[in-house]
Structure formats: C-alpha cells, structure tokens
Amino acid sequence: MDIQGAFSGYSVGDIEAAKKFYHETLGLAITEDMGGISLQFPGGQQIFMYPKEDHEPATYTVLNIVVNDINAAVNSLMAKGVAFERYDNLPGPQDEHGVLRGKDAGMGPNIAWFTDPSGNILALVEE
C-alpha cells in the first residue's frame, strides 16, 4: 500500500449553511470537491464535509481548532453570534463565556465548545 496522505470528514445537514458558517464566521478557506466542501487550515490540515439528508450530529467533539488566544477567539465568535456550550460533566467549572480553564488550573488546555449550523460540536483549544 502506497499511502499518499489522509483527511478526516463528517456530515452536515445543510451544505450551504456549513459553507457560510465555516467561511464567514470562522474565516476558513473552502473548496468544493467530491460533492462536499473541504476546509483548509493555515497549517495545511484539511477537513472534508459532506451533505447527508438524515444527518444527526455526533455527541462528541468532531473538530478541535487550536488558537493562540482563547479569550480573543471566544470574543470574536461571540460578536458574530456564536453561543458557547455548557456541560455539567467537566473536570472543572466553565467561566462566564463557557471556557474550561484547564490550562490555568493545571488540568490540560483551555477549551470552549460551540456547534455549527448542523449541531456538530466544535472546540476552540488553547494549549
């Protein structure tokens, strides 16, 4: 087997809403291919999204987006109307914006979760 690379993907219920959200709200470059869209990340990573009529969002995080400054990233997305999720089963409390301050408490990275228009769970991660 001569592997040339790899990419991950997940489904969305509305490909047009996904294009708008990932490009306009998150600021990612998008290409259309294979009947779906590919997100292009600054580090060269790529994620593929495909439309699925009976899409059901996963109950776990499907995409972690690494940021340098979680406060700036959360504030930027909140200004664009993104709401951050709150969970009861985390190893520590979330702050007023929904950020789990794991890095600050020695419990791992700072993380904030939100969803895309199809209900897929995404996370901002500050390592």
For residue range 4-26, list pLDDT tens digits in order.
778 899 999 999 999 999 999 99
Interval 55-70: pLDDT, tens: 999 999 999 999 999 9
Q: What is the pLDDT of residue 107?
A: 81
Residue 103 has pLDDT above 80, yes or no: no
Closest CA to 95 of 111, 106, 109, 77: 111
| Contact criterion met (CB below 8 Å) for 15 and 49 | yes
DSSP state of 23: I
| Cα angle for residues 115, 71, 46 (degrees, 5° grid) | 50
Question: Which residues lie below 8 Å from residue 24, measured CB to CB, with a gap of 6+?
Answer: none
Element (H, E) at 79: helix 70-79
Interval 32-88: pLDDT, tens: 988 999 999 988 899 999 999 999 999 999 999 999 999 999 999 999 999 999 998
Q: 12 - beta bridge partners?
A: 51
